[in-house]
Chains A and B, each alone.
Chain A
Amino acid sequence: MNELAQEVEPNEIAQFRREARAWMQANKPKDPGFKLPQSFLEVESDRQFDFLRDWQRKVFEAGYLGLDWPAEYGGKGDPLKRQRVVSQELARARAPFLVNVIGLQWAGPTILHYGTDAQKKRYLKPILSAEEIWCQGFSEPGAGSDLASATTRAERTPEGWRVTGHKVWTTLAHKSKWMILLARTDPNAGKYQGLSYFLFPMDAPGVNVQPLIKMTGEGGFNQVIFEQAPMGREALLGQEGQGWQVAMTTLLFERGAAEGSGGGQATSSAESVQRVAALAQRARRGRSSAAEDPVLRDRAAGLWIEEEALRLASLRARIPGLNLDRPQALRLMNKLVYSEFNQRLSELACEMLGPESTLWLGDPHAVDRAEWPRAYMNSFGMTIGGGTSEIQRNILGERVLGLPKSK
């Protein structure tokens, strides 16, 4: 049930899938014996990071990353379909996630779209190999959902720019070589016109990375304070003043509304309703189990319907004739629907566990090392990050349905 690859495939793709599946089975790293992060949002220790970086390098060296990126930038120039197959097989194998998520899925595709040839040559390959890790400097303490009100300044110098300001929720900043940075280059221009987009070197002087602790107690999440931190002219991506447009492109990739990622997956969990149903059989209720509770069964069946719909929608999204009413709707709603589905599923898992869901990491009796309450809490990273669910609803209402702005 819930096979990730249920489309009837051409032979050539089916063959590629078999090879990828066999490779994942043979090469997937063994449990290292220490706690692994569930997603790229909570990489704390060096050993976690090294483990994940080694895994990404291995996947890249086996030829499973950047398949659809041009060969001159470290990719293979293959059809996008093959990269999709790899992502599906990584999820299916429940392999660890690929740590350079921001590089692979957000920065890389944006550089491919807006970068000069020199920028593409410089940045793309080390993204695939995980040699250079990326982080994202968009949100600020005063600019969350209202991202365009960012006040971090990039002031002109003879060599380039100097950055002063404060970015938050900068996942992996403590391990990053580069940051995609949205900063204000012209405070006198309009809110949207005064922004520019940079590829900022994190080893510049004047950069201070401080950890933020998430609600799970885990780190990996940071804030970055810039004091006159310098960068060269080559750091500008796109035109000066075009930052908002470039950032919106990144967000399309981040939300899965546009394809072009170098591959990989953002979490290692790929939680499926089927796994939660199996959990329910283990979740004791005296002499019975949660799998016998009719209300929980009903909700699980409802989530199974949603899970299949998400999978089928990814096929349907590629058939223009089946999207005539609203051609962009499926792609633009993907992040909202997926993140809320995932949140409800992990919450249902906690409810199924009942009293056992109250044990936390480190307790010897915690079911599945407290994976379920941890997944539920971590699910908010997706319903808030990359544009909250509420902002997603505004976007869908205004852009897809043509409803008036909510100002």
Chain B
Amino acid sequence: MSYPQIPADFGFSEEHEVLRQTARRFLEERCPISQVRRLAESPHGHDAALWKEIAQLGWLGLVLPEAHGGAGLGQLHLALLLEETGRRLLPSPVFAALLAGFALEAAGSAAQRARLEPALASGDLVATFALCDTRGGWEAPEIEASAEASGGGFALRGIKPFVIAGAEAGLVIAPFRERSGELALFAVDLPTAGVRVESEIGVDPTRRSARLVFEGARVSAESRLESSGAAALQRVHVRGFAALAAEMVGGAESTLAMTRDYAIARKQFDRQIGAFQAVKHPIVDMMIGVELARTHMLAAAAALDHAPDSAEVPARMAKAVASEVYPAAVRKAVQFHGGYGFTWDCDAHFYFKRALWSRAMLGDGAHHRRFLASELFGHARG
């Protein structure tokens, strides 16, 4: 497998630019860091009024079909939007809803999509996707939660931890293993008898999560997404790598900007600290990393738009590099803000926490490089 062909202009158009500007202006106004701080300390971690406005802007249905209330746009649109939400640490289940949309697109029948997607796009339904399984595994072979046929429907068992917005969601889509050994994706309404929802206390207060315990929950046959299977899960993941990488690039960009500004404003030894090469050069390396990650995340989005069947290498590269660059940026951001950087008052820690979350989810750099090495070395034993 190699890097696929993408258009020389990445498929970028005026239309993309309009979306980005709209998103940037809206978030500047509605999601300043003061709002992020307020929501971080609130019980649910997000704002229902903001959610409605976001739905009205069409973000929730951005890549859903127009026939189902979506905008029918592509992954590059989504990437540019998520770069903006990542910059602002938008505390909202938008990312969860997008993952759920990926799952419906990958596995839902026409009827299932027609039933669920309009509610997703309108924001009437807060949907999420359970990435992780009982023991922290998340790729297809690691899914242990089970689905047993039972009375014309299914009984679901297993633990799904770290579910974004799991406590707020009205619908969760999650993979379960059927008796045949095959994977199936189920769309389960919440709350449901037999599913215990335990809010988690997360490191990142801007992205809430819950642990869903399926204790033989009975679900209907229709809740099994029709074209399920490992391939569908794989498609959700590939789009997820690209989407999360975009958010991470946005966060890394803000981290860089904050650190640069501080290096200009802060004086010690009668000089701006950014004049010291021990500070300046690592900030330049942050910028190089951010640009490297941005190139990859844009290219991964372009690959998903123009060569979707061979987008795995680009998407994994994007997530791998973002998973190195964002954590490295927040490390330097805290360090270069000095004693202030170590306080709650300094905004750096919010980015620091989001970076830790983002690296851990959907595979870190080492994980994706292991896959890429197999491609590069032609599957020589590693």
Contacts and interface: CB of A to CB of B under 8 A. Distances in A.
Interface of A: 1-3, 6-9, 273-274, 277, 280-281, 289, 291-292, 294, 297-298, 300-302, 304-306, 308-309, 312-313, 315-316, 318-319, 321-322, 325-326, 329-330, 333, 336-337, 390, 393-394, 396-397, 400-407
B266 to A, nearest CB: 11
A7 B369 CA distance: 24
Contact of A316 (B272, B284, B298): B298
B261 to A, nearest CB: 10
Contact of A336 (B3, B253, B275, B288): B288
B353 interface: no
B369 A301 contact: yes
Contacts of A294: 370, 382
Contact of B299 (A298, A312, A406): A312
A315 B8 contact: yes
B276 interface: yes
A298 B284 contact: no
B370 A8 contact: no
Contacts of A333: 287-288, 291
- Interface residues of B: mostly helix, strand, loop or mixed? helix
A297 B377 contact: yes
Interface size class of B (residues with CB under 8 A): 35 or more
A297 B377 CA distance: 8
Rank and list the top 9 A-B pairs by shortest CB-CB distance, nearest first.
Answer: A7-B8, A1-B2, A301-B369, A297-B373, A403-B274, A301-B372, A404-B275, A301-B373, A397-B280
Nearest to B3: A308
Interface string B319-335: 01100000000000000
A54 to B, nearest CB: 34
Interface in B358-377: 365-366, 369-370, 372-373, 375-377
Given A6-B5, A301-B372, 8 more contacts: A8-B6, A8-B7, A298-B373, A301-B373, A309-B292, A319-B12, A322-B10, A400-B287
Contact of B274 (A277, A315, A322, A404): A404
Contacts of B272: 403-404
30 contacts: A8-B6, A8-B8, A273-B376, A281-B377, A297-B373, A297-B377, A301-B372, A305-B296, A305-B317, A305-B320, A308-B299, A308-B317, A315-B9, A316-B10, A322-B10, A326-B291, A337-B292, A393-B281, A394-B277, A397-B274, A397-B280, A401-B260, A401-B287, A403-B263, A403-B280, A403-B283, A404-B274, A404-B275, A406-B276, A406-B277
Contacts of A273: 376
B366 A298 contact: yes
A300 B376 CA distance: 8
Contacts of A325: 253
B12 A321 contact: yes
Interface of B: 2-10, 12, 16-17, 253, 260, 263-264, 271-272, 274-277, 280-281, 283-285, 287-288, 291-292, 295-296, 298-299, 306, 317, 320-321, 365-366, 369-370, 372-373, 375-377, 380-382
A309 B287 contact: no
A70 to B, nearest CB: 25
Contacts of A277: 376-377
A1 B374 CA distance: 13
Nearest to B372: A301
Nearest to A313: B295
B10 A402 contact: no
A396 B365 CA distance: 26
Nearest to A401: B260
Contacts of B380: 281, 289, 291-292
B2 A396 contact: no
Contact of B283 (A2, A305, A326, A397): A397
A309 B366 contact: no
Contacts of A281: 377, 380
B298 A322 contact: yes
Contacts of A8: 5-8, 306
Contact of B321 (A305, A329, A397): A305
A405 B5 CA distance: 42
A337 B288 contact: yes
A329 B253 CA distance: 13
Contacts of A401: 260, 283-284, 287
Given A292-B380, A297-B373, A312-B299, A396 B284 contact: yes
B2 A305 contact: no
Nearest to B281: A393
A318 to B, nearest CB: 8
A325 to B, nearest CB: 7
B365 to A, nearest CB: 8
Contact of B287 (A315, A322, A329, A405): A329
B377 A280 contact: yes
A325 B254 CA distance: 11
Contacts of B280: 393-394, 397, 403, 406
A396 B16 CA distance: 28
A384 to B, nearest CB: 16
Contacts of A309: 292, 295-296, 317, 321
Contacts of A403: 260, 263-264, 272, 274-275, 280, 283
B8 A304 contact: no
A291 B377 CA distance: 7
Given A277-B377, A301-B369, A305-B320, A1 B3 contact: yes
Contact of A298 (B288, B306, B369): B369
A337 B293 CA distance: 13
Contacts of A316: 10, 295, 298-299
A383 to B, nearest CB: 14
A313 B297 CA distance: 11
A278 to B, nearest CB: 9
Nearest to B316: A305
A122 to B, nearest CB: 37
Given A397-B281, A401-B284, A319 B10 contact: yes
Contact of B3 (A2, A291, A337, A397): A2
Contacts of B274: 397, 403-404
A337 B292 CA distance: 10
Contacts of B292: 306, 309, 313, 337
Contact of B17 (A9, A313, A318, A321): A321
Nearest to A311: B3
A9 B298 CA distance: 19
A321 B79 CA distance: 14
B376 A396 contact: no
Contacts of A390: 277, 281
Given A298-B366, A309-B292, A337-B288, A404 B277 contact: no
Contacts of B369: 297-298, 301-302, 305
B277 A305 contact: no
A315 B4 contact: no
Contacts of A400: 287
B284 A308 contact: no
